[in-house]
């Protein structure tokens, strides 16, 4: 089906009223859009009848929107001008009728969910450089998920009937897919609701299952808050936590790790690719140390999964966390690899889903999406690794070159291909973040001022940065949809932004 000229011209003409933020005459729009005045007159009278436009009298005589553009949907506009329908007349009773009805309702749903405001917002420059926080869903992932919202997959995977077993079969095939990626057995993969949940399960689950052996747990000084705060909570429950330091690049001090492991140590949990500074730890060496001392080793691979090669058949890793929404999958899905024989107690007790490790009705569409997302990322690994590391190095080189008193945080080579973290002297990160946001650029900061705790990033401080250096840090994280021109736009805007705040600052170079 096609939109007729009426709808296309109608939408074009309406967006003019948005741009002007005032009323426009037919004549002006006609001239700008090259649409004849007579034709516009016809379209506008229909839109007026539908209550979408109003006539303005006086000096600026013409038309204006009768409602906030945030409250006018494309569906309303198109329905006022024509009635788009899929060919399946009422009397038709063919087998495919339900299909057409579904398409029709899906079509209306999409049109009714997009507003005029959103239509033009996407025209404005918007550069997303916060892929480490979360990623947009890949269109292929969404397409893969949609069938699993259908009636035929509505069953609970624990139910014995057809709907239940259909869902169950899909989950098992997803499990196999992840097992192949990580080179482990399918029954060692547990689906959870988030990386935070996976990490909580590991820390609390290992702690409570192994407390008769010991109550000592080791983490690094650069863990994500979900590991750090789980560990802090365990301290209140009588466990003892040791934090291993990192060097100025964020690499774990392996000698310190060796010295810190004691007979009562039950778990070592070290983040793989750091979420803030991008430093990638050496899983091989850490795993070997833990294995030699008979201590469980867990790694949070939320940022590194599918971005670096992780072959668990060659590594001494007992537990691993990976997340869906960091790799263009839906939010609300993650996994936990638990090596067979690991003594761990579940966080969630209930109906015994996920081999009893995680009771909860399985979120089928999200798991399908997560699986598809991982498959796409693995398939595109070489290509994305090349493209994004080149863009990353280009961005780092140019920022350090064009902005005085800037310095790279994290490791120059051993870092995630999409992570850039830079400190700028004499400026504060939250100001930079907000000013960049005005230019349509989305980034993150390690400044205290952007956190509710008012504490600067513990990760940056752990690498030896002074608090004021941590305050002046920005993280740029690239992704699948980042283009060279977006990076160039940032390179154009950033020096101006830094300069603006350095001028306001009482500290001069």
Q: Which CB, 47 or 459, lies closer to another protein? A: 459
Please name the residue that has the structure tokens 């790279």: 408
Q: Are 262 and 291 in contact (CB under 8 A)?
A: no
10 Å Cβ neighbour count for 180? 12
Tokens read off for 507: 């500290």
- What mask of x and - would describe binding to another protein in positions 382 to 421, judged by CB under 8 A? ----------------------------------------
Tokens of 28: 């002006």
CB of 500 to another protein, least distance (A): 10
Q: Check 22, 60, 92, 449 and give the catalytic one.
A: 449
- Smaller CB distance to another protein: residue 312 or 422? 422
Spatial distance between the Cα atoms of 462 and 224, rounded to a whole number of angstroms: 13
| Residue 276 in contact with another protein, rule: CB under 8 A | no
Strands of the sheet with 296-300, listed across from one edge:
189-192, 334-338, 319-323, 296-300, 265-271, 216-220, 240-244
Interface stretch with another protein, choices 225-233, 286-294, 399-407, 422-430 (CB under 8 A): 422-430
Classified as helix, coil or strand, 187 is helix
Measured from the CB atom, is 192 or 406 closer to another protein? 406
Q: Where are the alpha helices (DSSP H) in 360-483?
A: 364-379, 381-402, 429-438, 458-462, 467-471
Q: Which two tokens stand for residue 430?
A: 């939250």
Alpha helices in 183-236 (DSSP H): 195-209, 225-236
Interface with another protein, residue 443, by CB under 8 A: no
Give whichever of 332 and 467 is closer to another protein, judged by the CB atom. Answer: 467
Q: Are 296 and 245 in contact (CB under 8 A)?
A: no
Smallest separation, CB 461 to another protein (Å): 11
Under the binding rule (CB under 8 A), the answer on residue 92 touching another protein is no
Report the residue number, 485 or 503, with the smaller CB distance to another protein: 503
Nearer to another protein, 82 or 468 (CB): 468
The smaller minimum CB distance to another protein, of residues 151 and 507, is found at: 507
Q: Identify whether the C-beta of residue 450 lies closer than 8 Å to the C-beta of residue 429.
A: yes
Grouping H, G, I as helix, E, B as strand and the rest as coil, residue 476 is strand
438 binds another protein (CB under 8 A): yes
Q: 242 is written with which tokens?
A: 């040791």
CA–CA distances in Å: residue 263 to residues 217, 290, 297, 375 = 11, 12, 15, 40
Q: Is 122 in the site for another protein (CB under 8 A)?
A: no
Q: In this chain, which of 82, 282, 393, 430 binds another protein, going by CB under 8 A?
A: 430
| Closer residue to another protein, CB minimum distance, 188 or 435 | 435
Tokens representing residue 6 in the block: 């009426």
124 binds another protein (CB under 8 A): no
Clarify whether 449 is annotated catalytic: yes
Query: What's the Cα-to-Cα distance from 260 to each of 225, 238, 286, 300, rounded to whole Å?
Result: 22, 18, 13, 20
Should residue 452 be labelled a site residue for another protein when binding is judged by CB under 8 A?
Answer: yes
Q: Give the shortest CB-424-to-another protein separation in angstroms.
A: 11
471 near another protein, rule: CB under 8 A: yes
Q: How far is CA 201 from the centre of its chain?
A: 22
Told to check if 130 binds another protein by CB under 8 A, we report no
DSSP string of 30-42, one letter each residue: HHHHT--HHHHHH
Applying CB under 8 A, among 434, 488, 492, 499 the residue interacting with another protein is: 434
Residue 468 touches another protein, criterion: CB under 8 A: yes
- Cα separation, 506 vs 502, in Å, equals 8
Q: Of 58, 89, 238, 506, which one interacts with another protein (CB under 8 A)?
A: 506
- Residue of 95, 413, 507, 509 that binds another protein (CB under 8 A): 507
**431 belongs to the binding site for another protein (CB under 8 A):** yes
User: What dihedral angle (degrees, nearest 10) is formed by the CA atoms of 185, 188, 194, 197?
Assistant: -160
Segment interacting with another protein, rule: CB under 8 A, options 247-255, 277-285, 362-370, 499-507: 499-507
281 contributes a contact to another protein by CB under 8 A: no
Give the count of residues interacting with another protein (CB under 8 A): 25
3-state helix, strand, coil in the chain (%, to 5): 45, 15, 40
- Collapse the DSSP code of 148 into the 3-class scheme (helix H, G, I; strand E, B; otherwise coil) and give the result: helix
Q: Considering only the stretches 158-166, 241-249, 273-281, 467-475, report the one whose residues sit in contact with another protein under the rule CB under 8 A.
A: 467-475
Does residue 509 interact with another protein by CB under 8 A? no
**Closer CB to another protein, 56 or 430, in the complex:** 430
Q: By the 8 A CB rule, do 139 and 329 touch?
A: no
Question: Does residue 324 come out as left (phi exceeding 0), alpha (psi in the -120 to 50 range) or beta?
Answer: alpha
Residue range at the interface with another protein (CB under 8 A); choices 4-12, 189-197, 405-413, 446-454: 446-454
- Residues catalogued as catalytic: 449
Residues within the interface to another protein (CB under 8 A): 426-428, 430-431, 434-435, 438, 447-450, 452, 454, 456, 466-468, 471, 501, 503-507
């Amino acid at each position: 089906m096609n939109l007729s000229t009426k709808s296309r011209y109608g939408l074009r003409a309406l967006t003019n009223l948005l741009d002007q933020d005032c009323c426009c005459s037919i004549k002006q729009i006609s001239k700008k859009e090259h649409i004849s005045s007579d034709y516009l007159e016809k379209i506008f009278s229909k839109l007026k009848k539908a209550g979408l436009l109003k006539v303005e009298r006086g000096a600026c005589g013409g038309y204006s929107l009768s409602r906030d553009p945030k409250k006018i949907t494309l569906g309303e506009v198109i329905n006022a001008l024509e009635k788009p329908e899929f060919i399946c007349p009422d009397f038709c009773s063919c087998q495919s009728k339900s299909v057409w009805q579904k398409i029709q309702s899906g079509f209306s749903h999409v049109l009714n969910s997009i507003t005029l405001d959103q239509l033009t917002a996407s025209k404005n420059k918007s550069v997303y450089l916060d892929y480490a926080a979360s990623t947009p869903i890949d269109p292929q992932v969404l397409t893969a998920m949609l069938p699993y919202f259908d009636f035929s997959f509505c069953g609970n995977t624990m139910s014995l009937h057809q709907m239940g077993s259909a869902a169950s079969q899909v989950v098992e095939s997803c499990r196999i897919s992840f097992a192949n990626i990580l080179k482990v057995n399918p029954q060692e993969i547990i689906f959870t609701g988030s990386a935070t949940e996976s990490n909580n399960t590991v820390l609390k689950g290992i702690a409570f299952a192994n407390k008769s052996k010991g109550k000592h747990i080791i983490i690094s000084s650069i863990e994500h808050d979900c590991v750090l705060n789980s560990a802090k909570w365990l301290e209140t429950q009588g466990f003892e936590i040791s934090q291993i330091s990192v060097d100025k690049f964020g690499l774990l001090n392996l000698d310190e790790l060796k010295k810190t492991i004691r007979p009562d140590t039950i778990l070592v949990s070290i983040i793989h690719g750091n979420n803030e500074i991008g430093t990638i730890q050496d899983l091989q060496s850490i795993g070997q140390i833990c294995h030699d001392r008979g201590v469980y080793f867990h790694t949070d691979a939320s940022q590194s999964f599918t971005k670096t090669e992780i072959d668990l058949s060659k590594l001494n890793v007992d537990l691993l966390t990976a997340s869906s929404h960091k790799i263009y999958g839906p939010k609300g899905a993650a996994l936990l690899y638990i090596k067979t024989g690991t003594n761990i107690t579940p966080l969630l007790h209930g109906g015994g889903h996920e081999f009893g490790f995680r009771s909860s009705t399985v979120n089928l569409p999200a798991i399908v999406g997560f699986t598809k997302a991982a498959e796409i990322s693995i398939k595109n690994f070489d290509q994305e690794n090349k493209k994004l590391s080149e863009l990353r190095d280009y961005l780092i080189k140019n920022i350090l070159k064009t902005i005085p008193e800037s310095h790279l945080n994290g490791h120059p080579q051993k870092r995630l291909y999409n992570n850039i973290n830079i400190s700028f002297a004499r400026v504060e990160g939250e100001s930079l973040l907000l000013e960049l946001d005005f230019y349509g650029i989305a980034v993150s900061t390690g400044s205290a001022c952007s956190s509710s705790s008012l504490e600067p990033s513990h990760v940056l401080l752990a690498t030896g940065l002074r608090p004021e250096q941590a305050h002046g840090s920005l993280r740029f994280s690239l992704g699948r949809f980042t283009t060279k021109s977006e990076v160039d736009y940032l390179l154009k805007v950033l020096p101006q932004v830094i300069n603006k705040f350095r001028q306001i600052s009482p500290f001069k170079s």
